[in-house]
Every structure is written in structure tokens, then in C-alpha cells.
Amino acid sequence: MGRKRKELSFEEAMDRLEELTAALEKGDLTLEEALVCFREGNDLLAHCQALLETAEKSLKVLGLEGTVFAPSEEEI
């Protein structure tokens, strides 16, 4: 991974997780390569969870906890 995990946005980390998952599902990795992917995936998962917890705390502070946000017409 080119950038340190703490620098990755949620979206970037999720994209990398999808890449790792695809590589693992393909099934042509050596055991050592699969373990490296698995460890990186676990680290990325923890990073994403931390980002989500931070976002949730921000919503609580703003009084928006439980609010459902719908995409705008342009995003659909």
C-alpha cells in the first residue's frame, strides 16, 4: 500500500479492501501471500471502523444521530 493507513480516506480503504478480497477469492495466492493480504485487510477493517466511530460521534455532537441521509437527485 503506497500511503499509510491513517492517511487513507474511508473510500480509499474500502477500495483496497475490495482489491484484497478479490485477490483472496481468486485463489491463486500462495499461503504466505494470502496471509499478508488477510493481515492488511484486518488492519484496513479496523481503520474503517475507527473512521465510522468518529463520524458517529460527530453526528451525536451535532444532534443528528439516527438521521437518515438520502442521496440528492444529482447523486442518483
Parent domain of 57: 5-75
| Residue ranges in 1-76 assigned as alpha helix (H) | 10-26, 31-62
pLDDT digits (tens, 9 = 90+) for 22-52: 999 999 999 999 999 999 999 999 999 999 9
pTM, to two decimals:
0.72
Domain count, the chain: 1
pLDDT at 46: 96
By the 8 A CB rule, do 8 and 47 touch?
yes
d(CA 52, CA 57): 9
CATH of the domain at 65: 1.10.287
Q: Which residues contact 24 (CB under 8 A, 6 or more apart)?
A: 34, 37, 38, 41
pLDDT above 70 (res 5) = no
